[in-house]
Amino acid sequence: MIETVLGYFEMGGYPIMTPIFLCSVFALAIILEKFLTLRTNHVIQPRMVDRIKKDLASGKIVDAIRICQTQNSPMSRIILAGLEATPSNARNRILDEGKLEAARLERYLTSLGTIANISPLLGLLGTVSGMIKVFFTINQQGLGQSQAMAGGISEALITTAFGLIVAIPALAAYNYFDAKVQHLVTHMEKNASDIAGML
């Protein structure tokens, strides 16, 4: 398996295949991180929100604060910011903390989108490089040297294929996580608005 991958690297050319490989590693790391951090039960924690609303309805603000302090989630930090503020400033503190948490949820998404955009361009660069080698071979040795031209053609095809192999799942993951973030932010805003109204 490793020998096959190294063979593709050699045929595609290390100057182009190396950045494409690095893009795949970074994309995989971001995708795994987003799968872990964008879980609804981790971000919103619906049961925690329900408990806090019940405590606030009963006037148990200290209990609500204690619940938030024992959790480590975006929603708990947003609510805690409002609970620790003065009643007149609670809504503004919740809104400010909400913006910070939304930015944290979007972290690395720009990088993932960039990888999805530049990977096929790197593949295209490899295609151009390979075709240049083909034309150079034709110019030097004529059309009859098919073996000599094969290296340039294989470089062109392999770099294009690997660029697309990295870009397609990266783009799909970017779109999925972007929609997921927007969904979570909408729910966070609704819960935050409910809490602010109760304060």
CA distance 7 to 5: 5
DSSP the chain: -HHHHHHHHHHH-HHHHHHHHHHHHHHHHHHHHHHHHT-HHHHT-HHHHHHHHHHHHTT-HHHHHHHHHH--SHHHHHHHHHHTS-TTTHHHHHHHHHHHHHHHHTTTHHHHHHHHHHHHHHHHHHHHHHHHHHHHHHHHH-TT-HHHHHHHHHHHHHHHHHHHHHHHHHHHHHHHHHHHHHHHHHHHHHHHHHHHHH-
23-50 confidence digits (pLDDT tens):
999 999 999 999 999 988 888 888 888 8
Mean pLDDT score, 84-109: 86
pLDDT at position 145, please?
Answer: 61
> At residue 148, what is the residue type?
A
Using an 8 Å Cβ cutoff, are 82 and 98 in contact? no
Question: Which of 6-10, 14-18, 89-93 is least confident?
Answer: 6-10
pLDDT at position 114, please?
Answer: 96
pLDDT at position 5, please?
Answer: 59
pLDDT at position 122, please?
Answer: 92
Q: Is the dihedral of CA 120, 126, 130, 131 positive or negative?
A: positive
Q: In the chain, pLDDT over 90 holds for what percent of residues?
A: 31
Place of tokens 């148990």: 60
Q: How many domains does the chain have?
A: 1
Inform me whether the pLDDT recorded for 176 exceeds 80: yes
CB burial class (10 A; 0-12, 13-18, 19+) of residue 144? exposed
Q: Which of 46, 35, 113, 107 is nearest to 73 (CA)?
A: 46
Mean pLDDT score, 104-110: 92
pTM for the model stands at 0.83
Query: Whole-number mean pLDDT of the chain?
Result: 84
* Higher per-residue confidence, 9 vs 21: 21
* Higher per-residue confidence, 96 vs 136: 96
Which residue range forms the structural domain that includes residue 21?
2-198
143-172 confidence digits (pLDDT tens):
556 665 666 677 778 889 999 999 999 999
Alpha-carbon distances of 132 from 129, 144, 150, 157, rounded to whole Å: 5, 17, 12, 13
122-148 confidence digits (pLDDT tens):
999 988 888 877 777 766 766 556 665
Displacement of CA 152 from its chain's centroid (Å): 34
